[in-house]
Structure 1
Amino acid sequence: MPLPRLVWSAALLLALPVSCPALANPVPLETDYRFEIRRDGSPVGDHRVTLRPTATGLTAEAMSRITVRLLGIPVYRFEYQSTSQWTDGRMVALDSRSNDDGTITTVTARADGDRLRVSAAGGEGGGGDTGGGPVVAPLGLFPTDHWHSGVIGADAVLNTITGDINRVTMTAQGRETVPTGFGPRLSTRYVYDGDLRATVWYDDRGLWTGLRFAARDGSTIDYVCQRCGSSPTVAERAP
C-alpha cells in the first residue's frame, strides 16, 4: 500500500478576514539555511533556504527533497521548490511547485495594491481544485516556508503547497535547547494550531532553528538544523 501524502490538508476559508503581525523587527538577512529532514528519527531528505539581497529587498529560494525507502526501494518521493520576492519585510511575489509522489501542484502569489492575489493549479483538493479564481488576502501574509520569524503572532498563513489560506494560532511554549550545526542553541518553541498543525523553533535573533509536524501516515517529520544562519554568540549558546 503506498504511503499517505506527507502534506497537510486544510479547508479554504475565503470568507474570513485575516490579519498579519507587525513587521517592526525584520528578520536577520542570513544567507543560508540547511536542514536534514528525518522521519521518525531516520534521515529521508534535506531542506535548504537561500536569501539574496536585491535592489528592492530580497529573494528567498527554498527547496526540499524527501525519499522514503522500504528495504532499500523508494516507496515515496516529495520535491518542493519556491521563489519569493520581499520588499519592506513583506512578500510581494511567490512561485512554488511541489511534486507529491507524482501529484504536481503550483502556487503563485502577486501583490496587487494592498492585497495579495493567490492562484493554485493541480493537486488534490485545496486551492488547486477550487476553480473559483484567485484567492485575495492582505499584503503581508507570510508563507509556510517558516524561515521568516515575522510570522510569530499571525492568525493566517499562505500554504505554499496547496495555495490555501490557513487559519492558525501560534502559541509560545517555552525555551529549550535545539541541536544545530554550530552546537546547541537556545530557542523558543512555537506551536501552530488550527488549519495547520506544527511546531517551529526560532532563536533569540529570530533565526529559524527547527520544525516538527506529523505526517498523514502518523510518522513524525523533523527538520534538524545543519546551518541556521551564522554562528550564535556566546550568550545565545546553550549552557
Structure 2
Amino acid sequence: MLVKRLVLSASVLIFPFSGAATADNAPVPQPAGITQAWQPAPGDVIRFDVLRKGSPFGSHLVTFDEGPDGALVAKTKINLKAGLGPITVFRYDHTASEVWREGQLVEVAGEVNDDGKRASMEAVRNGNALAVQGTLFSGEVPTNVIPASHWNFAQTQTRNLLSTEDGEIYDIKVTPKGRETITAAGREIEANRYLLESDLDVDLWYDDQGRWVKLAFEARGQQIEYVLNQMY
C-alpha cells in the first residue's frame, strides 16, 4: 500500500539502513523501547477485516509457521474487492512469504495482482546482503531491511522498507503520534499511533507489546480502515 518510489539502478545497491537491534534468541528483530515485546510464534494468526467508507472491502491475513532449522515463516494474504452489484470494478490480491531466523530475514517472496497489473519479487540472503530480484528493482540490500508487511513493529524504527510486491525500496518517515483508545477485536484497548509518511500516508497502531492492532489511510477521498478480527 506504500507507493513512494526511489530512482534506483537495476544493478547492485548497497547502503545503510537504520533499524532495531537483533537478539540471538528472537525470531525477528527485537524492537527498542518495549519491555515485553511480542514475538510471533508458530500458530499465531493476525486477521483484519478491511473496510472502505465503513463497508466491507476485503481481508488481510498474516499467519506464522515453523520452517526448516527452527525458522519462522510469516505468510501474508490480502484480498480486496469493490463492485457495483455483481460487477467487480476493482480487485487487489497479494501474497507474500517471509523466512526469519535468529532475528535475520533470510528469504522473502511475493506477488501481486493490482487490478490487472501484476508484479513479483524474491530475495535470498547471500552473505552480508540480501539479493533481490523484482519487477521494479534487482540488486543487493543489507540483511536488516524490513519488509513492508506492517506486522513487524521494527518497521517503526527504520527509514526504508522492502516491497513484497515488486522488490522496490521505499523511503519512509515514521513519526510517533501518541497514545489513543481504539477498538480492536471487539473491545477498547490502549494503543500507540504512528504516522508512516510516503506518497501515501498510513496511520498504524501497535499495542504496548508491539502487536499490530489497526491501520488506516485515505486514498482518492475514500477512508480505508483495518479492524482487527481477534486478539493474538
Measure the CA separation in 2 of the matches of 1:139 and 1:166. Answer: 15
2:97 maps to 1:97: no
Between 20-29 and 62-71, the greater mean CA deviation after superposition: 20-29
Deviations 1:82-129 (A, max 9, x none): 1110011222111101111111111111111111122213xxxxx1xx
User: Which residue does the alignment assign to 1:58?
Assistant: 72
State the partner residue of 1:11.
5
In structure 2, the residue matched to 1:235 is none
Match of 1:201 among 198, 205, 211: 205
Tell me the distance in 2 between the aligned counterparts of 1:178 and 1:152: 19
Paired AA for residue 151 in structure 2: W
Alpha-carbon RMSD: 1.9
Aligned length: 212
**Of 48, 51, 57, the match for 1:44:** 57
Within the candidate set 211, 221, 226, 1:223 is matched to 226
Q: Distance in 2 between matches of 1:197 and 1:60?
A: 24
Conservation of the 8 A alpha-carbon contact between 1:13 and 1:167:
no
Quote the residue 2:171 is aligned against.
167
SS of structure 1 residue aligned to 2:187: coil
**Contact conserved, 2:184 with 2:231, CA < 8 A, in 1?**
yes
- Identity %, equivalent residues: 30
- Checking the alignment, whether the CA contact within 8 Å between 1:19 and 1:138 is kept in structure 2 is no
Q: Deviation string for 1:2-38 (max 9, x for gaps)?
A: xxxxx44322244764332223536421500000011
Q: 1:33 aligns with which of 38, 46, 61?
A: 46
Describe the SS at the equivalent of 2:190.
strand
Does the 8 Å contact 2:2/2:170 carry over to 1? no
> Whole-Å Cα distance in 2 between the matches of residues 149 and 13 of structure 1?
27
* Match for residue 180 of structure 1 among 180, 184, 192: 184
2:34 is aligned to none
Structure 2 regions of 5+ residues with no counterpart? 24-29, 32-37
Contact preservation (8 Å) 1:64, 1:81: yes
Output the CA distance in 2 between the equivalents of 1:187 and 1:206: 9
Unmatched segments (≥5 aa) in structure 1: 1-6, 122-126, 230-239
Aligned partner (choices 59, 82, 97) of residue 96 of structure 2: 82
Cα distance change of structure 1 residues 161 and 198 upon mapping to structure 2, 3 Å threshold:
same
TM-score between the two structures when normalised by the length of structure 1: 0.81
Task: Check if 1:107 corresponds to 2:121.
Answer: yes
Deviation of the 1:213 alpha carbon: 2.1
- Residue 60 of structure 1 and its aligned partner are, at CA, apart by 0.4
1:136 aligns with 2:137: no
Moved more, 26-35 or 108-117: 26-35
User: What's the TM-score, normalizing by structure 2?
Assistant: 0.84
Partner Cα separation in structure 2 for residue 201 and residue 57 of structure 1: 27
SS of 1:152's equivalent in the other structure is helix
